[in-house]
Chains A and B, each alone.
Chain A
Amino acid sequence: MNKLFILFSGLFFSMRVNAQNNVEMADVMRSNGKIYTVVAVCLTILIGLFIYVFTIDRKVSRLEKENSTK
C-alpha cells in the first residue's frame, strides 16, 4: 500500500515537474496561440463538406444514367 502510494505520488510529482519545465515536444497544434488547431478544424469541415457534395454528385450521376437507359 505504502509502496503504491509512493509510486503514484512519484508519478504525479514527475508529471508536475514536466508541466513546470514546460516541455514542448513537436507540439504543432499548441504553437502560435493554437491557430493550427483552428486551421485543422476548418480543413476538417471543408473536407467533410466536399466529400458530402461529391457523394451527392455521384448519386445524381447514377440517377442520370438510370434515366437515360430507360
Chain B
Amino acid sequence: MKKNWWKILSFLLLAYTIIAGFLLDVPHLPILNETIRNLYFHVCMWFGMMILFSISFVYSINYLRGFNYRNDIFATNFAAVGSLFGILGYLTGVLWVNVTWITDQNQSLGSVLKEPKLIGAAIALLIYGAYFVLRGSFNDIDKRARISAVYNIFAFAMLFPSIWIIPRIVGSLHPGSPGSDSGNPALDKKDLDDAMRIVFYPAVIGWTLLGVWIATIKIRIDIIKNKNIINE
C-alpha cells in the first residue's frame, strides 16, 4: 500500500477538481460563460498528453542506450495512453467549439477548420498514430523496438512545434496567439486568474497521475506476457 499513495492522491486531486471546478467562482467572461471551467478538463487532457509523451520519449532514449526490451514496453504504453488523452482532448474540444467560436463568436466553420492549433494537434496525433502502425508492421521484435524507438524520438520532436510553436506564429483562435492580448495562457501570471490556478494545477497533476496509473497497468500486463524475452 505504501507504493500506491500516488494512486490515492490522483483520486483525491480529481475529486477536488470536480467539486472545486464546478462550485468555485470563476471569472465572468462573455462568450466563454461557464464553459471556462473546461480549463480543468479539456486543457488538462492536453497537458497530460504532453507529459505522457515526454515520459515515452525518455524511455525510448533509454531503450536505445541499452537495448533493454523493458524500456520499449514502457515507451509504447506511455505513448498509447498519451494518444488516448489526445483523442479525448480533441473530442472535448469539438464540443467546446460548438458553443463558443461557432455560435457565439460567429466564426465560420471554415475559419474553425483553418485553426492552426486544431491542424497541429491533428498532425501530432497522426504522427503518433503512425508510430503504432509502424510497430504493428514488424515481426522481428528487436527491429520493431529499435526502429519505433527512433521514430518515437522524431515524433516527439514534432509534437511541440505542431501544437505550440506554429499556432503561436501564424495566429490562432486559441489563447496566446499574436493579435490577442494574452501572452502565455495557463502559465503567465496575467493570463490565468488566480482563482482558476488553484484548481487547474492540481487538476493537471491528477489527470496525469491517472494516465500514469493506466499506463503502468498496461506495462505490467505486457511484462507478464513477454516474461521470457525480458532479461532482468
Q: Per a CB cutoff under 8 Å, which of A46, A60, A63, A67 touches B18?
A: A46
B15: chain A residues at CB < 8 Å are: 43, 46
A-contacting 9-mer, from B145-153, B154-162, B219-227:
B219-227
A35: chain B residues at CB < 8 Å are: 22-23
A43 touches B220 (CB 8 A): no
B residues touching A (Cβ–Cβ < 8 Å)?
Answer: 7, 11, 14-15, 18-19, 22-23, 210, 213-214, 217, 220-221, 224, 227
Within 8 A of B (CB), among A10-64: 35-36, 38-39, 42-43, 46, 50, 53-54, 56-57, 60, 63-64
A36: chain B residues at CB < 8 Å are: 23
Instruction: Tell me whether A64 and B18 are in contact in the complex, defined as CB-CB below 8 angstroms, given that A39-B23, A53-B213, A57-B213 are known contacts.
Output: no
A53 touches B214 (CB 8 A): yes
Apart from A39-B23, A54-B7, A60-B217, what 8 extra A-B contacts exist at CB < 8 Å? A43-B15, A50-B11, A53-B214, A56-B217, A57-B213, A57-B217, A63-B221, A63-B224
Chain B, Cβ-Cβ closest to A35? B22
Shortest Cβ gap from A39 to chain B (Å): 5
